[in-house]
Amino acid sequence: MPPPPSDRPDPRPDPRERFGWHPEPELIGYDDETRSRPALEALGKAAWAAGLDYLYGEAFRRAMGEPAGYAALRRVFYGSAADGSTAAPAEAPRGPTTSDALIEEFRSRLAPHNLNAYHPRSLSYFTPPPLVMSIVGEVLAQILNQGVDVWHAGPSSAFVEEEVGRWLCSLVGYGPDSFAVLTSGGVMANFMALTVARDIHLAELLDLRRPPRGRELEGHRVYASDQAHFSISRALDELGFPSATLHVVPADERFRLRGPAVAAAIADDRARGLRPFAICAVAGSTNTGAVDYTAELADLAERERLWLHVDAAYGGAARLSARDAARVADLERADSVTIDPHKWFFQAYDIGALVVRRGANLLQTFQRSPEYYRGGEPEAGTHRDGVGDGLGMSEPLNFYQRSMEGTRRFRALKLWLSWKHLGTDGLGRLVEANNDLATYLARRIAERDDFEALPSEPEVSVVCFRHLPGGRATAGGLDPTAIDAHQDALQVALEASGDGWLSTTRLHGRTYLRAGIVNFLTVESDIDRLLDDLCRLAAETLMSGG
């Protein structure tokens, strides 16, 4: 009888024999602890130090790296060609480079030139500073290198994702038959949600025993507001629906979709012989933070037999707070919900999620069984297709059967560690602090004559506002396009200054500055300084004729 694996001799050849062509062979052949661990620890220390040097030397110094403009930064990054033009990306390197040289290249070539989400006045595209435990989770996940598609490729990783998914289901308010799948972000989650709506709900409406395809996708309608995320329209296009399928319903004066407006659109479409089949609501729009009237839309969806999807990629995290959960009420009434932990859960990129009320719908939509995954398939007679999809399943959990994606990296670990580290209450405290800052910014704006916000009070932590040169009375007599250009000039000037970062958007045909406050390092004094900076930059811009 052969000895157990642990007792068998396993002499590891010196990595210099196998990888001597590289100046650091111990970092390539790292399977011998004695030879490689000291080098790996030194590399890890150097990499972590480079990260901290970026954090404290760059990220907290400027909200946007320098130079801030695209053309200037491209010249800095790629250099100049012999003829003086901007050089193109270099050819792939033929030979090796030492780790010290690469870390130095990170320090000098990359670190100084980024949007720095850590900066307390960086209030931009829902890019929060990640929690430290999220960063740690990302490092550990990459070391484990698990493929979360078939259970055998990431056994415990699948359980971590299942558990995080259960937490997300509970956060939405779903029961034990619900299920959640992690995605790259909201675009993929919205795409998958509409795939399920097409293959499950539309098939039921058409009385089909298979998913509808081709001409069967004509003559249907999906309803969303003019504040819906672009991924809704893109998903319908990619899923084969005609361009007219999306019926855009105007939002109200506070940018919210209301039930009566959708009901009127449905009645008009039915009178024209069209078939409504889904509503796509928003709980915390990217543009304004608006929250649609989910209860009204859910009532309407039930009456009209429509699938209700809620894009709560950003706003869903308000449910972490007992105080603020009511700001995104009634999510549990939706058939599917998108949540993006890399937004308001303060997670490192990337991690989104699709949460569905009936987990079996994911299996019915995405289940495939290629021959090379036979080892990960359930044993004969144990599969419970269509029966629940929560904890306690008796067969292996193969996520590729519940998702558009196949091989996926271990996204769940960072959220799992972060959620355990802070707890739901701790995460909720961070969300509450951001909402309080948005309220504070709106109040400061209302107290001044040279700013105005739209809407005047935020629903969650987005504030859209603009500077009024000379105050409201003076600005009222100016060309509106000139005021629009003034906001753009202010955004550019603030970005170039490095002291803050805001995006811009268009509301009711006019340009506004937009503060998306998802930065848990921001405090009230940062809001005060931001407004002061904008006033100073406005004066400088107007004086220069910009």
Return the CATH number at 215.
3.40.640.10
> Phi and psi dihedrals of 494, rounded to 5?
-65, -45
Q: Which pair of structure tokens corresponds to residue 378?
A: 């359930």
Q: How confident is the model at residue 511 (pLDDT cuts 50, 70, 90)?
A: very high
- 412 pLDDT more than 90: yes
| pLDDT surpasses 90 at 394 | no
Same domain, 229 and 319: yes
Predicted confidence at residue 42, as pLDDT, reads: 97
Pair 394, 440 in one domain: no
Residue-wise DSSP of 44-111: HHHHHHHHHHHIIIIITT-SB-SS-SHHHHHHHHH-B-TTSSBPPPPPPPSS---HHHHHHHIIIIIT
* Pairing verdict, β 501-507 and 510-516: antiparallel
Q: How confident is the model at residue 8 (pLDDT cuts 50, 70, 90)?
A: low
Report whether pLDDT(383) > 50. no
Per-residue pLDDT at 392 exceeds 60 = no
Distance CA 90, CA 81 (A): 11
Question: What 8-state DSSP symbol labels residue 289?
Answer: -
Look at residue 87 in the predicted model and tell me its pLDDT. 78
pLDDT tens across 303-344, in order? 999 999 999 999 999 999 999 999 999 999 999 999 999 999
Question: Residue 399: how many CB atoms within 10 A of its CB?
Answer: 26
Any domain includes 2 = no
**Helix, strand, coil shares, percent, the chain, to 5:** 50, 10, 40
Residue 424 CB contacts under 8 Å (≥ 6 apart), including other chains = 171, 320
CA neighbor of 202 nearest in space, from 186, 218, 179: 218
Q: CA of 430: how far to CAs of 63, 194, 521, in Å? A: 20, 31, 9
For the domain that residue 439 is a member of, what is the CATH number? 3.90.1150.170
Shared domain check, 376 and 305: yes
45, part of any domain? yes
Residue at 1 is within a domain: no
What pLDDT, on the 0 to 100 scale, is given for residue 2? 62
pLDDT band (50, 70, 90) for residue 490: very high
Give every CB contact of residue 421 below 8 A, 6+ residues apart in sequence: 131, 133
User: Residue 184, CB half-sphere, CA atoms under 13 Å: how many?
Assistant: 9
Instruction: Report the pLDDT value the prediction gives residue 387, as an integer from 0 to 100.
Output: 37
| Contact in structure between 285 and 460 (CB atoms under 8 Å) | no
- Structural domain of residue 31, as residue ranges? 14-101
225 and 248 in contact (C-beta within 8 Å)? yes
Write phi, then psi, for 458 (nearest 5 degrees): -75, 145
Residue 342 sits in the same domain as residue 201: yes
Residues 266 and 349 occupy one common structural domain = yes
For 292, the token pair is 């649609």
Closest CA to 322 of 179, 164, 461, 435: 435
Q: Same domain for 332 and 426? A: no
Instruction: Among 154-158, 355-359, 445-449, name the one with the lowest average pLDDT.
Output: 154-158
Q: What percent of the chain has pLDDT over 70?
A: 93
Is the C-alpha dihedral spanning 148, 150, 155, 158 positive or negative?
positive
- Asked whether residue 111 is assigned to any structural domain, the reply reads no
- The whole-angstrom separation of Cα 27 and Cα 225 is 53
69, 101, 133 - which closes a domain: 101
Beta strands in 484-529 (DSSP E): 501-507, 510-516
Give the C-alpha distances (Å, rounded to integers) separating 55 from 110, 111, 116, 372, 472.
Answer: 13, 9, 9, 44, 40
pLDDT in tens, 74-103: 989 998 877 777 778 989 999 999 999 999
Please state, as a whole number, how many other Cβ atoms lie within 10 Å of the Cβ of residue 104.
13
pLDDT of residue 506: 96
Question: Are residue 159 and residue 223 in the same domain, yes or no?
Answer: yes
Query: How many structural domains does the chain have?
Result: 3
**Has residue 137 been placed in a domain?**
no
The answer to the question of residue 131 being in a domain is no
Residue 179, class by beta-carbon neighbours within 10 Å (0-12 exposed, 13-18 middle, 19+ buried)? buried
Closest CA to 517 of 125, 178, 37, 95: 125
**Residues 241, 316 within the same domain:** yes
Contact 42, 36 (CB under 8 A): no
381 in the same domain as 485: no
Confidence band, pLDDT 50/70/90 cuts, at residue 135: very high
Closest to 288 (Cα-Cα) out of 503, 482, 538, 488? 503
When pLDDT is cut at 50, 70 and 90, the band that residue 47 belongs to is: very high
Instruction: Using the 3D structure, point to which of 80, 101, 122 is the last residue of a domain.
Output: 101
Residue 245 pLDDT: 98
CA-based R_g, the chain, Å:
26
**Pick from 320, 315, 283, 316: which is nearest to 429 by CA?**
320
Are 256 and 398 found together in one domain? yes
Same domain, 154 and 260: yes
Burial class (CB in 10 A: 0-12, 13-18, 19+), 66: middle
The reply to whether 479 falls in a domain is yes
Mean predicted confidence (pLDDT) in 362-383: 68
Retrieve residue 293's tokens.
Answer: 């009237």
Give the residue-averaged pLDDT of 38-60: 97
3-state SS assignment for residue 427: helix
**Do 335 and 197 form a contact (C-beta atoms < 8 A)?**
yes
pLDDT band (50, 70, 90) for residue 384: very low
Residues 6+ apart with CB under 8 A from 137: 348, 413, 414, 415, 416, 417, 418
Closest to 439 (Cα-Cα) out of 545, 527, 546, 544: 527
Rounded CA-CA distance 239/242 in Å is: 9
* 309 part of a folded domain: yes
Strand partners of residue 515: 463
Q: What is the pLDDT of residue 319?
A: 98
378 and 469 co-located in one domain:
no
Q: Residues 174-221: pLDDT tens digits?
A: 999 999 999 999 999 999 999 999 999 999 999 999 999 999 999 999
Nearest-10 Cα torsion for 534, 226, 338, 502: -10
